[in-house]
Amino acid sequence: MSGDINVIFRACESIVSQDRLGPYVRSFYLYQTTRRSQTELPTRFWNMLQKALWKMRCLDVLYIDDPARANTWILSDIPKIPFQLREANFRLPWNRHIIKFLESQNKLRQFQISGGVDEDAPQFEDGSLPDLCTFDGHLASAMQLLSLPCGLRHLRIPLDRSTNKQLLDFIPKLAAISRTLRSLNIIHMPEELSVEAIKLISFVCPDLHYVGIIPLPMTFPHRSMIHDALLAMHNLRDLEIDVSRWSPLPNTGSLQRMLATELHTYCSSLEHIILRTGSNRTLWYFDGNEWNVSENGQHLLVDGLWKNR
């Protein structure tokens, strides 16, 4: 693991030139430390990386951040790829090379991809990704995964202006994985969609353990509609809500405790509530009697809560 491209290149050279080294590599991370100075890497670098990957037959974890979002071809020569990944995180486009690579990965459990979806990206072959549990990627990519009989447990989808309007059409399709799905994390959900979205979620996936990030309306009756949806979710343990548009913001501990208590009234199974007020996130937990704020390791727990249920 190194953010220095020269170090990564020399490491790949060593792996390619000395056969004994490749099998020792269990995790490999390619990134550039300073995003401001990220540069497009030469073809010579990618060729060396590809040859090094062919030597890593015990690789479990692979992270590739390509500033150009253009070099998925390094994963295209399937017969020469010796490893079966457990976890992959790609800053790459979702295209035919990625699809074919994923079809070869029968042990992959966690997958994150942040690139856009190419129009000519093919559909998966039946039986692909049988062990996939956690997916983090754009809505169009998630739509393709729903065509597979996989047992997804944790799903995170970042929205943008082009996909906001598709959300309400997408949620009913989660019925295909409602039996296994336990966490649904939707990033950047517009407040005007929050009521309809949570109503659909509670109907399609009532057994979820985690739901977020729901913009909570400040005023009634819209807020009471959120409450009605929560009444139907008897297994919900973690709820992440955004109150950044409230005026004034509920920044004090007493106001936040009152809000947590209010939500708990309609969903008594709740154990954690994450409140977002702008850039701040506050984790509240229920000790059996009252709500308390978590002080230690808060952000580490908040960041991973959606994929731990």
pLDDT for position 161: 87
Q: Which two tokens stand for residue 68?
A: 């150009």
Tens of pLDDT, residues 161-194: 888 989 999 999 999 999 999 999 999 999 999 9
pLDDT over 60 (residue 258): yes
How much of the chain, in percent, has pLDDT values that exceed 90? 78
Mean pLDDT, residues 249-278: 94
3-state secondary structure of 155: strand
pLDDT for position 173: 95
Q: Residue 8: what are its φ and ψ, rounded to 5°?
A: -60, -40
Cβ density class 247-258: b for 16+ within 10 Å, e for less: eeebeeeeebbe
Domain ranges for the chain, please list them: 27-32+59-306
Tens of pLDDT, residues 70-122: 899 999 999 999 999 999 999 999 999 999 999 999 999 999 999 888 888 88
CA distance 254 to 219: 19
pLDDT for position 116: 83
pTM of the prediction?
A: 0.92
Better-predicted residue by pLDDT, 156 or 4: 156
Secondary structure (DSSP) of 173-224: GGGGGTTT--EEEEET--HHHHHHHHHHHHHH-TT-SEEEEEEPPSSTTHHH
pLDDT over 80 (residue 61): yes
Tell how strand 291-293 and strand 280-286 pair up. antiparallel
Better-predicted residue by pLDDT, 57 or 151: 57
pLDDT-derived band at 309, boundaries 50, 70, 90: confident
CA distance 255 to 282: 12
Asked if residue 15 lies in contact with residue 21, where contact means CB atoms within 8 angstroms, the answer is: yes
- Helix H, strand E, coil C: the string for 35-65 is HHHCCCCCHHHHHHHHHHHCCCCCCCEEEEE
pLDDT over 80 (residue 302): no
Out of 3.30.1150, 3.80.10, 2.40.30, 1.10.3470, which CATH number does the structure's domain 27-32+59-306 have? 3.80.10
pLDDT for position 36: 57
CA distance 240 to 242: 7
pLDDT for position 58: 98
Tens of pLDDT, residues 220-237: 999 999 999 999 999 999
The half-sphere exposure of 238 on its side-chain side, counting CA atoms within 13 A, is 22
pLDDT over 90 (residue 299): no
Question: Roughly what angle, to the nearest 10 degrees, separates helices 222-231 and 191-204?
Answer: 20
Q: What is the mean pLDDT of the chain?
A: 92
pLDDT over 90 (residue 34): no
Better-predicted residue by pLDDT, 301 or 200: 200
Better-predicted residue by pLDDT, 122 or 60: 60
pLDDT-derived band at 298, boundaries 50, 70, 90: low
pLDDT for position 197: 97
